Amino acid sequence: MSRTISAGRQTGAVRETAPGDQALPARTANRTAALGGIGFAAIVITENILRGPGPDTDASTNEVLDYYASHRTLVTVATGLFVLTFPCIMLFAGGLWRAFAHHGVARSGVPALYAMLASFTAVMVADVSLNVLVHDGRADAATTGVLWSMRGAALMLNGGILGSGVLLMAQGAGCANALPRWLRPLGTLCGILAIISCVGLVPAMDGAAIGLAGLAAFACWLVWLLAASVSLWRHA
């Protein structure tokens, strides 16, 4: 423990700091955050490619069973990759937290990135359960239907949480030196689309077209994420 006497003061006040408690250089911090964002996007895109087109949210039990029976290895790999997104999004969130130091509204959206991880974990719990039950031959129709419905609802609500956060963070684009102004309308669009899809959650679960708003929001989020990451790197 080091003891540092405040300069220019006659009171002799002492401030204690732990060893190695210095701030990370801004250049290193921004580049680390940028790599986290790019890594997150790369993992998510890879996961979706591995999984391929899955059953719809209103798919029959047989369709769900057939999908997990024929995609066991790919789903298993994709599940493992999901764990790697944890440090990536945490690093990216830290970079945005610093970038929005003087923009309260934008900064209030950053915790949504952590909430997104928590809510998507619920999706993965249902995913892993289905994968294991189908492989072991213990997946009855009732259990499969409940888990698949829970997975779909959690996935859509996850998008709503993320979209709300991006909507708020986007308001800091242009104000924060690291983010270009055009990310504001893109992030706003992402948030609005995600919220619309969640408001119509039940119809979307039944296969209504409103669920497409969630897919569009997801695409906007990936573009926003990559653009913000590249911008953080360039301004390091």
Domain boundaries, the chain: 25-234
State the chain's maximal CA–CA distance in angstroms: 78
Taking alpha carbons only, the member of 166, 142, 144 closest to residue 217 is 166
Buried b (16+ CB within 10 A) or exposed e, 55-83: bebebebeebbebbeebeeebbebbeebe
pLDDT at 26: 72
pLDDT at 177: 62
Q: From first to last of its 236 residues, what are the pLDDT tens digits of the chain?
A: 444 433 444 444 434 434 443 455 777 888 999 999 999 999 999 998 988 888 998 899 999 999 999 999 999 998 889 999 999 999 999 999 988 988 889 999 999 999 999 999 999 999 999 999 999 989 999 999 999 999 999 999 999 999 999 999 999 887 756 688 999 999 999 999 999 999 998 998 888 888 899 999 999 999 999 999 999 898 76
Distance CA 107, CA 125 (A): 30
Token representation of residue 92: 């990216």
Token representation of residue 100: 């929005």
